[in-house]
A and B are shown apart, each in its own frame.
Chain A
Amino acid sequence: GESVGLHLPTLSVQEGDNSIINCAYSNSASDYFIWYKQESGKGPQFIIDIRSNMDKRQGQRVTVLLNKTVKHLSLQIAATQPGDSAVYFCAENAGGTSYGKLTFGQGTILTVHP
């Protein structure tokens, strides 16, 4: 099953701060993970992905960390900007017969204040 709560977690930061968004996943068979950003009224937008043979991957201003031992994923955004304000979702895939299926977390609302 999914690790979900009844209310979306929220993170409020000042422009220029670093942000860390966390995600717990429940399927130990998951071996591929993706972070998406979703702005109001739009579809999810790919940010970064990581496979289970890695524990860290960096992109432009973003870093994803994977801790398989505790089934935890985090997204770090450096020098957060107002345009980063959105809902952030982690998604997992277990491969095998589930190649097509992404399981999404409930999301975290990031608000960046100028």
Chain B
Amino acid sequence: GAGVSQSPSNKVTEKGKDVELRCDPISGHTALYWYRQSLGQGLEFLIYFQGNSAPDKSGLPSDRFSAERTGGSVSTLTIQRTQQEDSAVYLCASNRGGRTQETQYFGPGTRLLVL
């Protein structure tokens, strides 16, 4: 695709429910990243995938958060038993990965509101 896409754009859920957020990276990008952005704040790293494996998941805030990537492409971020403090914009990014540093290209984000 032309850019990183994410779905849904917006998600409203009730406290205690599970949610799944989807990210479709730029075609050919082997590395995929998830970040969280709370209102008026900078981005907070959650997890990084190189292919289907996650070398760095140090940013996941609790065991309620998990992510997977299959086929080296689409990734799903799952939040179980959502809490109000999980309300934020969840951003996904991708790049060519490997052991070179290059910019990460971001999707539009999923705005999650937990009531």
Contacts and interface: CB of A to CB of B under 8 A. Distances in A.
A16 to B, nearest CB: 29
Given A2-B42, A102-B43, A102-B45, A44 B101 contact: no
B43 A104 contact: yes
Given A99-B101, A106-B42, A43 B33 contact: no
A100 interface: yes
A105 B42 contact: yes
Interface residues of A, number: 30
A15 B100 CA distance: 38
Which of B42, B55, B58, B106 neighbours the largest number of chain A CB atoms within 10 Å of its CB? B42
B72 interface: no
B31 interface: yes
Which of A4, A45, A51, A99 neighbours the largest number of chain B CB atoms within 10 Å of its CB? A99
Nearest to B54: A100
B43 A89 contact: yes
26 contacts: A2-B42, A42-B109, A43-B4, A43-B106, A43-B108, A44-B43, A44-B91, A46-B103, A49-B102, A51-B101, A91-B43, A95-B101, A97-B55, A99-B55, A100-B50, A100-B55, A100-B97, A101-B56, A101-B58, A102-B33, A102-B35, A103-B45, A104-B42, A104-B44, A105-B42, A106-B42
Interface of A: 2, 4, 8, 31-32, 34, 36, 41-46, 49, 51, 89, 91, 93, 95, 97-107
